[in-house]
Chain A
Amino acid sequence: MTILFLIIAIVILASAVMVVTTRNLVHAALWLIVSLFGVAVLFAMLNAGFLAVVQVVVYIGAIAILFIFAVMLTRREMRGHGKPLNNNWWISALLSLLTFGGLAMLLSNWDGFSQTPADFPSDFDGVAELGNALIDPNQFVLPFEVASILLVAALVGAVYIASNRK
């Protein structure tokens, strides 16, 4: 299992690096799909089947499609000209290194790494638990409805911006 995890983690990281370094926009979108798919596999390995499938439906099936549409519909030239890095790259590299260091410092005090998760009971049904949490008034009813409102806001905003030029 650990070996599988390492392979997938490397695939995710490598394809993420390819997304930002490749010059061809469609290649970047395809590498992004590989990376997202790797995350879905990680969810599946963690017994989070629902999250794995939702990752595929929403991220690969909808968001990445939107990227591909955007690339295909707006750009005449698929290859970017000019260097992908500008001269200030070292500042951002330093910043991300510092952030990573800070996170690593914080996490080094956390003892969660050395613990193994408890096994699920055999009749555990994550999806039913999730559904219950969504409709239980003491838990996530309000976020569930707020999510709906948020979606409507996104919908209205997107359509308003997109059709403004007419």
Chain B
Amino acid sequence: MQNEWLYIGLFLIVGVALPAASLIMAAIITPKKSNPIKNSTYECGMETVGDSWVQFKAQYYIFGLVFLIFDVETVFLFPWAVTLNKLPLFAVIEGIVFILILLAGFTYIWRKDALEWA
């Protein structure tokens, strides 16, 4: 088992080296004739107005929060799913109770309109 993770680690190194090498190669080959107009921000020919690092909708953050909760839930369901064939009835009921409790929370946030993108 240890070896398997080592394989993945080595593959990761190869996977990082590949794009890095191609970027470095490209940096050597490509022509460099930049000028201020070329390097300006591209907005379809308009002059850029203001900064683009401004405050965006807080809705993104709420989706992030809800995602975090359900992500943890999904992670809990993975080991449950693996061992379902042992003591089945009890395990199934347990998992379903787990999901139903979370569905109650889900209903709450749905009612609260936290899932509305408006």
A and B touch in their complex, CB below 8 angstroms: yes
Whether the pair A154, B69 counts as a contact (CB closer than 8 A) is yes
Give the residues from 101 to 145 in chain A that come closer than 8 angstroms, CB to CB, to chain B: 120, 127-128, 130-132, 134-137, 141, 144-145
Asked if B117 is at the interface of the complex by the 8 Å CB criterion, the answer is no
Whether the pair B62, A134 counts as a contact (CB closer than 8 A) is no
A149-B101, A151-B105 given; A58·B53 CB < 8 A:
no
Contacts of B58 in A (CB 8 A): 73, 162
Q: Which among B54, B65, B87 is the interface contact of A66 at CB below 8 angstroms? A: B65
Asked if B23 is at the interface of the complex by the 8 Å CB criterion, the answer is no
Asked if B40 is at the interface of the complex by the 8 Å CB criterion, the answer is no
A135-B83, A163-B62 given; A145·B75 CB < 8 A:
no
Q: Which among B56, B64, B72, B106 is the interface contact of A58 at CB below 8 angstroms? A: B72
Q: Which among B56, B94, B113, B114 is the interface contact of A145 at CB below 8 angstroms? A: B94
Asked if B90 is at the interface of the complex by the 8 Å CB criterion, the answer is yes
A66-B68, A148-B98 given; A135·B87 CB < 8 A:
yes
Shortest distance between the CB of B101 and any CB in chain A (Å): 4
Contacts of B83 in A (CB 8 A): 128, 131-132, 134-135
Whether the pair B98, A145 counts as a contact (CB closer than 8 A) is yes
Which stretch, A11-19, A46-54, A82-90, A92-100, touches the partner chain B? A46-54
Contacts of B79 in A (CB 8 A): 50, 127, 130-131, 134
Which stretch, B1-9, B25-33, B41-49, touches the partner chain A? B1-9
Chain A: interface secondary structure? Answer: helix
Q: Which among A120, A149, A159 is the interface contact of B62 at CB below 8 angstroms? A: A159
Q: How large is the interface on A (under 10, 10 to 19, 20 to 34, 35 or more residues)?
A: 35 or more
In the assembled complex, the Cα of A38 lies from the Cα of B102 at a distance in Å of 31
Give the residues from 8 to 44 in chain B that come closer than 8 angstroms, CB to CB, to chain A: 8-9
In the assembled complex, the Cα of A148 lies from the Cα of B90 at a distance in Å of 17
Shortest distance between the CB of B108 and any CB in chain A (Å): 6
Give the residues from 80 to 114 in chain B that come closer than 8 angstroms, CB to CB, to chain A: 80-83, 86-87, 90-91, 94-95, 97-98, 101-102, 104-106, 108-109, 112-114
Whether the pair B9, A151 counts as a contact (CB closer than 8 A) is no
Q: Which 5 A-B pairs have the closest CB atoms?
A: A131-B83, A152-B105, A131-B79, A135-B91, A44-B5
